[in-house]
Amino acid sequence: MKMVLPVQGGGMEIEMKKVVKFGGSSLASAKQFKKVADIIRSDKSRRYVVPSAPGKRNSKDEKVTDLLYACYEAASQGGSYKKTLEKIKNRYLDIIDGLGLNLNLDPEFDKIEENFLAKAGKDYAASRGEYLNGIVMAEYLGFPFVDAAEVIFFNEDGTLDAEETNRELSERLEGMDRAVIPGFYGSLKSGAVKTFSRGGSDVTGSIVARAIHADMYENWTDVSGMLVTDPRVVDDPEVIETITYKELRELAYMGASVLHEDAIFPVRKEGIPINIRNTNRPEDKGTLIVESTCRKPKHTITGIAGKKGFCSINIEKAMMNSEVGFGRKVLSVFEQYGISFEHMPSGIDTMTIYVHQSEFEDFEQSVIAGIHRAVNPDTVELESDLALIAVVGRGMRSNRGTAGRIFSALAHARVNIKMIDQGSSEWNIIIGVKNDDFETAIRAIYDIFVTAEL
């Protein structure tokens, strides 16, 4: 039986297709594999599966990817690696035995050992966790296995060749009703294995979703969706029901992470929604990530995220606003030293540049001297140990007084605001505070916009 979507008018039925990606914690053991299989089998439209490598089974456990890195490092340097390799083998053997499969991975491990000794590269080593888990998953589900190295391609500079990948993957999967494609890696034109950055299985799932024109990309992990803010700062924050790609980008840039940020682009091109779900709580709806929506947000704001570790460079010069090219000259000094700026609020006679303190400290005196030479300011002052907090939400556009409520909440919490910057979209307000006030500020904003609105 195939899941179909009825279309009114012509009596047509469109077959539903979903890509499902499962993270490392979702596939850490045979018990978790069984949960995953139940989830896949409960919905016939879940036909293309992207597995990660086995993650930690408990807080004292090790991720298979970390074991592979360690094993490769020892083998390629002529050190002792056999015990680590045996530990990796046993992880997979435990899963295979726990699932009752008749599967022998010894030939694969022999090949891996041979390539480790031949110094095949760290990317090759790291990718084997997903590769082996893909084989196990395909065997358990009875799905065809497609090696990601044969269908996902990188340019020589390490960037994804999105169009060639989309063409090859579309052609390969066109005749397949279902398949398992391991996450995290692909290959260079030379044939060498190349990986995405950590968390890159999210990107693989997004690429597969684009290639098959999926109706939904489900990303299964160990949380029930995106949270309004960091649970390390606010106890038990609410789950975001629906968030747009635009809101997600704003929050991800400021440190919120439940999804690899590069995973947004392939599906955004096709208008494919992403659903963040919890493997251990499959009944939870999770968070739906969409391009646009008519759904009214539950709260004025969608999310709060932030980072510590910034400093500000405040430049004062009388009549700077009438000096053509002033901003360009100032920013060229930062560019000269490879320093990117985060925000640049300005007044008639002042300009403030926010940068990462760790990037700035080694060059601070050179930058100050460069600014003096470039624009001859009246004064240049530095302030360190600052944090930036992003308050993001599509609901902010239709609600008056959002900035005023933020000011009021922070004043009540005795937090001094160092900077406030609102973009023209009215979806995002950035607040600068001292590092010491970071957690207090986030809790105050959460309370006024979420707790008070319940």
- 232 and 257 Cβ atoms separated by less than 8 Å: no
Q: Mean of the pLDDT values across residues 228-250?
A: 91
Pull the structure tokens for residue 104: 């022998």
Query: Does residue 9 carry a pLDDT above 60?
Result: no
Per-residue pLDDT tens digits for 369-405: 999 999 999 999 999 999 999 999 998 887 888 888 9
Q: Identify the structural domains of the chain with CATH numbers, from first to last.
A: 18-290 (3.40.1160.10), 303-453 (3.30.2130.10)
pLDDT, position 258: 72
Instruction: Give CA–CA dist 3/178, Å, rounded.
Output: 13
Query: Does residue 268 carry a pLDDT above 90?
Result: no
> Which helix (H) or strand (E) element contains residue 292?
none
Query: Does residue 287 carry a pLDDT above 50?
Result: yes
Q: Which of 313, 355, 346 is nearest to 327 (CA)?
A: 346
Query: Does residue 354 carry a pLDDT above 50?
Result: yes
pLDDT, position 11: 47
208 CB contacts (<8 Å, ≥6 apart)? 19, 48, 50, 169, 173, 181, 214
Higher pLDDT, 3 or 409: 409
Classify 59 as helix, strand or coil.
Answer: coil
Query: Does residue 21 carry a pLDDT above 80?
Result: yes
Instruction: Give CA–CA dist 19/398, Å, rounded.
Output: 35
Residue 294 neighbours by CB distance under 10 Å: 4
pLDDT, position 395: 87
Per-residue pLDDT tens digits for 156-166: 998 999 999 99
pLDDT, position 2: 46
Q: Which amino acid makes up residue 453?
A: E
Pull the structure tokens for residue 414: 């005795």
> Which helix (H) or strand (E) element contains residue 218?
strand 216-221
Q: Mean of the pLDDT values across residues 230-247?
A: 92
Q: What is the DSSP letter of 16?
A: P
Pull the structure tokens for residue 269: 């091109």
What is the percentage of the chain residues whose pLDDT exceeds 90? Answer: 77
**Chain centroid offset of residue 127 CA:** 18
Q: Mean of the pLDDT values across residues 195-220?
A: 92
pTM: 0.85
pLDDT, position 294: 82
Query: Does residue 344 carry a pLDDT above 70?
Result: yes
pLDDT, position 199: 74
- 248 and 262 Cβ atoms separated by less than 8 Å: no
Q: Mean of the pLDDT values across residues 413-427?
A: 85
Pull the structure tokens for residue 408: 């009021």
Phi and psi angles of residue 365, each rounded to the nearest 5 degrees, phi first:
-70, -35
Instruction: Find the radius of gyration of the CA atoms of the chain.
Output: 25
Query: Does residue 253 carry a pLDDT above 90?
Result: no
Per-residue pLDDT tens digits for 172-196: 999 899 999 999 999 998 999 999 9
189 CB contacts (<8 Å, ≥6 apart)? 153, 155, 156
- 275 and 248 Cβ atoms separated by less than 8 Å: no
pLDDT, position 347: 85
- 137 and 96 Cβ atoms separated by less than 8 Å: no
pLDDT band (50, 70, 90) for residue 264:
confident
Q: Strand 4-6 to strand 242-244: parallel, antiparallel, or no bridges (unpaired)?
A: unpaired
Per-residue pLDDT tens digits for 78-134: 999 999 999 999 999 999 999 999 999 999 999 999 999 999 999 999 999 999 999
Q: What is the DSSP letter of 405?
A: H
